Amino acid sequence: MKRLIDKLAIFIISLALYITNENNIYMVIPILISIILSAILSYLENESITIAVFTIYLAVCFFKLDYLFFIPLICYDAVLLKIKGIWIFSFLPLIFNFIKTPFISNWLIAAIIITAYILKHRTVSYEKLEKDYHKLRDNTKEISMQLEKQNKELLDKQDYEINLATVTERNRIARDIHDNVGHLLSRSILQIGALLAINKDEETKKNLKLIKGTLSEAMDSIRTSVHNLHEESIDLRTEIQKLIDGFRFCSIKFHYDVETNLEKNMKYCFITVTKEALSNIIKHSNATEALVIIREHPALYQLVIEDNGSSCSYSSENGIGIKNITDRIAALGGNLNISTHQGFRIFISIPKDNYFERTR
């Protein structure tokens, strides 16, 4: 647009100078030819064509004085080409026809040529500056997006490490309770049992039985607490990653995108299904690559396990593996879809509404 404005300004000045010096019935021809050539050069923006048109136009100007007035318009496109200084040849027709044209017209045309050079140089500099600005802005935006992505990954990693540390601490507490307090209670129960066996006093036996019953209740309560604490401490991502790390049959990729903490039955279901699917890959597939995806969507949880092995037929009646997977998914109100096109693919989706209703 800026180049078009520059050309329009040069054309208006050249036209005004041309009209004041020429007055014949063919005076419109140089105007039309100059406009057409200038439009072609602006549209094509080809350096070779620009040089050819510029050279031919200058050659015409040596013999047709009417075309001298529009040299600045054609010269504008010849400025700042790879062939440096080619625009200076614009002065040759003026020098050659110096005697044939009015003195003032020659100088004014020369001045307009210099003006065309200044305008082109200014416009190109501005365009370069604008291009550099947009490039810098795009780079800044890209860097900003990368920083946001890295920051999100850092926060996710931090959350994962905190969750993993919490899980580890829960396991340690559960293990300590089981190994220390549980053993002490078990030993106390055995000791009271021994006292009951050797003691003859009925009143003492009665009290010992009460103590033994209390200790047994405490032991059951601790077992339940330790069991629940251990189950809550199971991290689905860590458990699946352990299965994948131990899988040596082929390369396998793992994508995990779940933010909420799943219930233990959901965790056990996904772990069991993944274990069964990986076992089937080893037994029945010639795959070289596999993929495990666990993802949380607004309305459902998703588990996808697939490989690139050769297609094979399957039947839930031929083995208990697929049937067990089907039963587990059905118990959670989910859907199972198995595809054998271009490899074996298990697609499991469990709607959150169905899942929460069944786990209440």
Q: What is the pLDDT of residues 21-36, one digit of tens each?
A: 877 778 899 999 999 9
Phi-psi domain of 344 (left: phi exceeds 0; alpha: psi -120 through 50; beta: other)? beta
Query: CA 321 to CA 110: how far, in whole Å?
Result: 92
Residue whose C-alpha is closest to residue 261's, from 359, 173, 186, 163: 163
Q: Which tens digit of pLDDT belongs to each residue from 167-182? A: 666 667 767 776 777 7
Kindly list the strands in the beta sheet with 300-307, ordered across the sheet, starting from the edge strand earlier in the chain: 251-257, 289-296, 300-307, 345-351, 335-339
Q: What is the pLDDT of residue 171?
A: 67
Angle of CA points 117, 121, 124, to nearest 5°: 140
Give phi and psi for 260, each to the nearest 5. -80, 160
Q: What is the pLDDT of residue 37?
A: 92
Query: CA 26 to CA 46: how far, in whole Å?
Result: 30
Lowest-pLDDT choice from 104-118, 221-235, 267-281, 315-329: 221-235
Task: Tell me the CATH class for 156-232.
Answer: mainly alpha
Residues 6+ apart with CB under 8 A from 218: 185
H helices of 181-250, in order, are 182-198, 202-232, 236-245
pLDDT band of 59, cuts 50, 70, 90 = very high
Which H or E element spans position 118?
Answer: helix 103-176
Lowest-pLDDT choice from 38-47, 197-206, 231-240: 231-240
Domain ranges, ordered by start, for the chain: 2-128, 156-232, 236-358
Rg value, the chain, Cα: 44
Query: CA 256 to CA 308: how far, in whole Å?
Result: 20
Q: What is the CATH number of domain 236-358?
A: 3.30.565.10
Q: Which tens digit of pLDDT belongs to each residue from 141-155? A: 999 888 888 877 776
Amino acid at 159: D
Residues 7/102, Cβ–Cβ less than 8 Å: no
Residues 325/346, Cβ–Cβ less than 8 Å: yes
Strand-pair partners of 349: 302, 335
- Higher-scoring residue by pLDDT: 117, 233: 117
pLDDT band of 280, cuts 50, 70, 90 = confident
Strand duo 345-351 + 289-296: pairing = unpaired
**How many other C-beta atoms lie within 10 A of the C-beta of residue 15?**
16
Domains 156-232 and 236-358 belong to one CATH topology: no
